[in-house]
Structure 1
Amino acid sequence: MVRALGSGGSGSVWLAQDKELGRFVAVKVLADELMQDVAAVTALQRECDRLKALEHPNIIQVDGVHRSARHTWIAMEYVSGGDLTSWRGRGATEVLRVTLPIAEALAHAHRAGVVHRDVKPANVLLTSDGVPKLTDFGIALALNELPAARAGRGSLFTMSPQQLDGAAAAASDDVYGFGALLYELLSGYPPLYPNATPESIRNERPRSLTEAASVPAPLAQLIDRCLEKSPADRPPGMDTIVRELTAAMAGIPAVNIIQTPAAVSRPAVAPPSIRPPVAQGEPLRSEWKRPAVTARSDDELRRQGFRRGLGVAVAILAVIGIGFVFFALPRWFPEAPKAKPAQTAKEVEAPKTEPRKETDFAALARAKQEAEEQRTAIEGRFEKLRARAVDLWGGAEFKQASDELAAGDRDFAAREYVTARDHFKAIAPLIDVLEKRATEVLAHQLAAGNKAIAEGRSADAKTAFELALKLDAGNAVATRGLKRSATLDEVLALVATGERLEKEGNITAAAETFRKALALDADTARASDGLARVDARVSSDAFASSMARGFDALTARRYGEARSAFDAAARVRPGSPEVAQALRQIEQEERTRSISAKLEVASAFESKERWAEALKEYRDVVQLDSTVAAASEGVSRTAPRAQLNEELDLYLTQPERLFSAPVRSAARQTLGQAKQVAPAGPVLQKQIATLSDWLARADVPVQVALRSDNLTQITIHRIGALGSFEQRSVELPPGNYTVVGTRPGYRDVRREIHVVPGTALQPVVVRCEEKI
């Protein structure tokens, strides 16, 4: 942080040094009480996102939203020239010059779907070189977006009636705000100042600026339309305003950049604290003030006393001298007789002199300032034209502009500021013509240079491209053309040699010569064409030989050998359609062969009732070619059999699952589906028989012998409590069971038993014998 720049309701703005970027930035820090306000942080992030999306030279640029343990802030471009509030009361030319880029920035934002909603002088900043930047998108909304209930509505003096009433955001809101901005800058006060109220904004019209002499009528009428109460009566968008402002600016003569208060015409609105001077054109008067008294040393006092004494002595001598001249001399030297005049005073009439006209120093100062501004405005443009060799192509306009500049400089040196200003003012239209012609001359020189290269005139090409580079120093076409013109003669000689060698049948030497020419200038069409011709002749035999070998191998179904031959032909002639067609033929035959093989394998698996493997092969064929009917039918036929086979194998490989009643029920359903398949192959018949046997055995109870000590209470989970006994037999369906024995004062005993059909179990002993 360097210093505070300002503050508002949502936080403060600081000047800060960005050590990573090595420059100053403006930092908008969220107020402490809003740090935990999700809506405020979201609004700050939304403002940053909108600014990042609006890349425009007249819209402030942002770095991003940052957060720390104590602060949330948004870092943005630092603009050091202040805002437009200090421009109130400027002339129309100055106001248009600084607001036209803002109108273009608003038009750009509207095209991106964003409405600013707070256009006012305080939200337009100026860089050190006077470039305006639109800032503060804190209350901006997307087009047709409704503002939140607690969202800011904008400035009372610049918001439209619709924005005041909370209507959806529209481009017409910014049109109204921009009209209010122009009104405030030209008149010195915002519309309806100082008594603006919501009711007056909805119903009252501000005083029109058409009565102000300093505001051109078209501009005043545009402002009136912008401030209409109904959006339908305003200009349709900022693009229309840009066009009308440009036209208005072209029709306004150059005026002072800084005008005196007397030169500014304002509407008859009397501000409470500002009073313009009464006198018009009154020259500036200086005001004497006593210097501050400071302590003096003794030496200074002595020197001051000596100077005062010397001054008194000189004054006394002057008085004595005057007395001597007027009193002593007349007595000593009597007056000589006067000669009689030849004519009387009546006969000789005194020459008439016109009354001396007082100089209007204020007007002279304004003329000087205007002349300086005109001179400054054209100086840079004129120097740029000189750097672009305007003396070679400027013609009469350049001569006239040079003469006007010289005449203006002479008049300015002679303090003839009005005529100097007029001379400087006459130069701007001439510069406009020359700048427009520069583009045409550049295009003409580029075309002339390219034509000269095509016709083999290296000197003419060099001259044209050198002038083109003076017009546009970074022009890539001119740079390339100048390089080509330097080697043009050598390239043409090589091309001629290559063509002669080609006619003589020396193909290898001709190709080498054409390559040398292309190394000097890759854009030489004759060299490229020649090299293509000789390369075609060299590669023709190799290509034909490779293609013949490939087709022989393809006929013999040696697909690998055929592919290698066709690849060799493609290297000789890349992109050849014959090679591509041959390779497609190989792929088609290989695919057909692969499909046939897979269908045979699938059929073999199907006959062996290996349904999952048969299904995989059929699906592979469908992926290769979905139009093969046999593959589609095979998938439909084998898919349900593969599913049934998988379910049967699951029961048969894990028969213990059948000891659960729900599993036995599902197994019986699967068995019923299997019995419906006809004809049933050997594998399926065996699966049906085995599963039927397991299901039958799973329903037969098994005798289980239990032994105890007649003191332990026996319980079988899922069966019930058996009490205490020494020996007992129970019948249990096949499955897994837990037998628990309990006895007061002794640790419980648990036994897990697994009842399997057809298997005799050893007696299960359950006694609680370990005391607690």
Structure 2
Amino acid sequence: MSDDFGEIRPKSVPLSHGGSESKAQGLEQSAATRRLGLIAALGAAVVALGVVFFVVPDLVAPPASTPMATTPDAPNAPSPASSTSDSELPPYQTLLREQARQQAQDELARFVELQLTLEDQMQVGDWGMDDYDLAKTLATAGDEEFLQEEFDASITSYKAASAALTMLIATGEGLFEQAMSAGWAALDARDEKAAQAQFASALTIHPKDSEAQRGYRRAQLLPEVNVLMRQAKNFELAGESDSALAVYEQVRGIDRDTYGLDGAIAETRRADVRNRVNAHLSDGFSALERGRLPAARSAFGAALKLHPGNAVALGGLEQVTEQTTNTRIEALRQQALAAEQAEAWQTASDRYAEVLSLDGNIRFARAGRTRAAEQARAALALSNIAAAPEKLSSKTLFAEAEALLAQAMNLEPRGPKLAALLAQTQRLIEAYRHPVAVTLLSDNETQVTLSTVGQLGSFERKQVNLRPGAYTLIGSRDGCRDVRQQIVVRADMRPIEIRCVERL
């Protein structure tokens, strides 16, 4: 008997998208919550449909069959259902039917996703309610067609509903952008009413948009901002820059993004600078007329600090310089010559350098600075030789000292201090020019090394010829601690012993 009946299969039903009016009232719910609700509704619908197909037939007794229905003479009686069961269709037709059913469900899901996006991000209101109702009507038609298993028709209806929602969203975004653009323009023009109206219009579409909310708040501040901006401008016209800047700062505290605020502040500051520059210039020329040159220079300098490159201030400084430079240069020249007479060469060099800082082309200052520098270098080098003559034991340093002495002998003028240094250096060079015979005593086991000479080896007695000066003897021997001895070579010096005796 089982072969006489086809398998009863539950039909998929569309997701419910009715009750959109109540969803529109609950915009505060998140999109995730709405999706969960729709999934739950879909599950409930499937369960209910399963009950209809599987449970109810078992609970309700079948109606009494007519004799004709139970007789073998009527084996092909029509089914109560008006449509053909899937089990009565060929396999390929069944597959196409299931594909159409799935495509219809996919189109419905797309519509629901668009609906969730619209209700979560926008508030339709008066601007698009008719179009929204039309989209829902198309979706409802798709539902009815789906339940009648007219899947191709339901696909068309769902697509039309999705297209209507897509167009509605695009229209809303366009209106929103238009209102926002007009709102910002009204803010820049400081048009109170227009700015408030445009941002209010934008908020009817996107009530949660942070930029629209910010624009609306700024529009509400415009009346106070406009009063203060006019007040600041009046202060500017009266030349009261400080007062104008103070009012502009009040505006900044209310709405720092006020259009033109930064430019107005910058212009006021420039005007304030111009006023102060003119005041300094007036003070400078007044001081110049009275011969108060330091005060004049200070005033012109203050003007240039506020306005670098100001031609009037630069001209004033030139006049000050013309009256003071010659006197200053002559005074510095006399100071430099006096320092040369006293052989205070560094002081003389400093005075000449001061002259050149005033005018780098003055010849006497350039020649004097060169002369003073040469004298100062020679005096320092000769003094260093006299302070450490033992360094002349080095052949290299001795040669450098001779060359330095030869150069210093040609310096002019030769004052008493330079002459004394030259004589002292000559004596030292002569004294250190000739080697001295030095006798070294050891134990024939200690290896001896002499600085600037090298290894001398082991010996009991050795004589070496050394230039007068300071040397270092180093002794080393296996099993003993090394010894190091400083010696100063002079004429007629006693023999020097060096040996390692302290055991390790």
Which TM-score band (shorter chain)?
0.5 to 0.7
Gaps of at least 5 residues in structure 1 are 1-128, 130-321, 327-353, 742-747
Could you tell me which residue of structure 2 aligns to residue 411 of structure 1?
Answer: 145
Compute the displacement of 1:445 (Å).
0.9
| Inter-CA distance 582–534: structure 2 relative to 1 (3 Å threshold) | closer
2:98 is aligned with 1:365? yes
CA distance in 2, matches of 1:533, 1:678: 64
Could you tell me which residue of structure 2 aligns to residue 696 of structure 1?
Answer: 430
Residue pair 1:461, 1:485 contacting (<8 A) in 2 also: yes
Residue pair 1:615, 1:638 contacting (<8 A) in 2 also: yes
Residue pair 1:389, 1:467 contacting (<8 A) in 2 also: no
What letter corresponds to residue 383 of structure 1 in structure 2? L
The secondary structure found in structure 1 opposite 2:293 is coil
The secondary structure found in structure 2 opposite 1:380 is helix
CA distance in 2, matches of 1:546, 1:403: 81
Residue pair 1:566, 1:579 contacting (<8 A) in 2 also: no
The secondary structure found in structure 2 opposite 1:418 is helix
Which has the higher Rg, Structure 1 or Structure 2?
A: 2
Could you tell me which residue of structure 2 aligns to residue 666 of structure 1?
Answer: 400
2:293 is aligned with 1:557? yes
CA distance in 2, matches of 1:402, 1:355: 27
| Inter-CA distance 597–494: structure 2 relative to 1 (3 Å threshold) | same
Residue pair 1:559, 1:586 contacting (<8 A) in 2 also: no
Could you tell me which residue of structure 1 aligns to residue 37 of structure 2?
Answer: none
Compute the displacement of 1:696 (Å).
1.3
Compute the displacement of 1:461 (Å).
2.7
Compute the displacement of 1:658 (Å).
1.6
| Inter-CA distance 428–685: structure 2 relative to 1 (3 Å threshold) | farther
CA distance in 2, matches of 1:577, 1:738: 65
Compute the displacement of 1:513 (Å).
8.2
CA distance in 1, matches of 2:242, 2:439: 105
What letter corresponds to residue 445 of structure 1 in structure 2? A
Could you tell me which residue of structure 1 aligns to residue 197 of structure 2?
Answer: 463
What letter corresponds to residue 671 of structure 1 in structure 2? L
Compute the displacement of 1:721 (Å).
9.9
Q: 1:420 aligns with which of 149, 154, 162?
A: 154
Render the CA deviation track for 1:663-687: whole Å, top value 9, x for unaligned: 3233223333334556655554443
| Inter-CA distance 498–588: structure 2 relative to 1 (3 Å threshold) | closer
Please list, as runs of the form range in 1=range in 2, the aligned pairs for 1:169-248 lying within 5 A after superposition.
none
| Inter-CA distance 460–637: structure 2 relative to 1 (3 Å threshold) | same
Please list, as runs of the form range in 1=range in 2, the aligned pairs for 1:60-71 lying within 5 A after superposition.
none
Compute the displacement of 1:420 (Å).
2.6
Render the CA deviation track for 1:181-220: whole Å, top value 9, x for unaligned: xxxxxxxxxxxxxxxxxxxxxxxxxxxxxxxxxxxxxxxx
Residue pair 1:466, 1:482 contacting (<8 A) in 2 also: yes
CA distance in 2, matches of 1:383, 1:454: 36
Residue pair 2:375, 2:411 contacting (<8 A) in 1 also: no
TM-score by length of 2: 0.53
Could you tell me which residue of structure 2 aligns to residue 4 of structure 1?
Answer: none
Residue pair 1:599, 1:617 contacting (<8 A) in 2 also: yes
CA distance in 2, matches of 1:767, 1:529: 89
Residue pair 1:611, 1:642 contacting (<8 A) in 2 also: yes
Render the CA deviation track for 1:296-316: whole Å, top value 9, x for unaligned: xxxxxxxxxxxxxxxxxxxxx
Render the CA deviation track for 1:413-458: whole Å, top value 9, x for unaligned: 5544333323333455555555555554333212322455577764
Residue pair 1:563, 1:583 contacting (<8 A) in 2 also: no
2:116 is aligned with 1:383? yes
Residue pair 1:611, 1:645 contacting (<8 A) in 2 also: no
Residue pair 2:392, 2:398 contacting (<8 A) in 1 also: yes
2:468 is aligned with 1:734? yes
The secondary structure found in structure 2 opposite 1:558 is helix
Please list, as runs of the form range in 1=range in 2, the aligned pairs for 1:71-86 lying within 5 A after superposition.
none
CA distance in 1, matches of 2:108, 2:246: 62
Could you tell me which residue of structure 2 aligns to residue 478 of structure 1?
Answer: 212
What letter corresponds to residue 422 of structure 1 in structure 2? T
Residue pair 2:297, 2:320 contacting (<8 A) in 1 also: no
Residue pair 1:733, 1:755 contacting (<8 A) in 2 also: yes
What letter corresponds to residue 101 of structure 2 in structure 1? K
Residue pair 1:739, 1:752 contacting (<8 A) in 2 also: yes
Compute the displacement of 1:694 (Å).
1.3
Could you tell me which residue of structure 2 aligns to residue 448 of structure 1?
Answer: 182
| Inter-CA distance 547–399: structure 2 relative to 1 (3 Å threshold) | farther
| Inter-CA distance 441–613: structure 2 relative to 1 (3 Å threshold) | farther
Q: Which has the higher contact order (CA 8 A, sep 6+)?
A: 2
Render the CA deviation track for 1:25-45: whole Å, top value 9, x for unaligned: xxxxxxxxxxxxxxxxxxxxx
The secondary structure found in structure 2 opposite 1:362 is helix
Gaps of at least 5 residues in structure 2 are 1-31, 33-66, 72-81, 476-481
TM-score by length of 1: 0.38
CA distance in 2, matches of 1:731, 1:539: 82
Could you tell me which residue of structure 2 aligns to residue 374 of structure 1?
Answer: 107
CA distance in 2, matches of 1:497, 1:771: 99
What letter corresponds to residue 427 of structure 2 in structure 1? D
Judging by fraction of residues, say which structure has more helix: 2
Render the CA deviation track for 1:532-588: whole Å, top value 9, x for unaligned: 999999999887655533554576233599369948x99xxxx66798975997799
CA distance in 2, matches of 1:505, 1:766: 96
What letter corresponds to residue 394 of structure 2 in structure 1? S
Could you tell me which residue of structure 1 aligns to residue 26 of structure 2?
Answer: none
Compute the displacement of 1:482 (Å).
0.9
Compute the displacement of 1:617 (Å).
7.4
CA distance in 1, matches of 2:428, 2:240: 92
2:488 is aligned with 1:754? yes
CA distance in 1, matches of 2:285, 2:221: 48
Question: How well do the aligned residues superpose, as a CA RMSD in angstroms?
Answer: 6.6
| Inter-CA distance 532–716: structure 2 relative to 1 (3 Å threshold) | closer
Render the CA deviation track for 1:208-264: whole Å, top value 9, x for unaligned: xxxxxxxxxxxxxxxxxxxxxxxxxxxxxxxxxxxxxxxxxxxxxxxxxxxxxxxxx
Compute the displacement of 1:654 (Å).
1.2
Compute the displacement of 1:472 (Å).
5.7
Could you tell me which residue of structure 2 aligns to residue 653 of structure 1?
Answer: 387
Compute the displacement of 1:753 (Å).
5.3
Please list, as runs of the form range in 1=range in 2, the aligned pairs for 1:6-155 lying within 5 A after superposition.
none
| Inter-CA distance 475–543: structure 2 relative to 1 (3 Å threshold) | farther
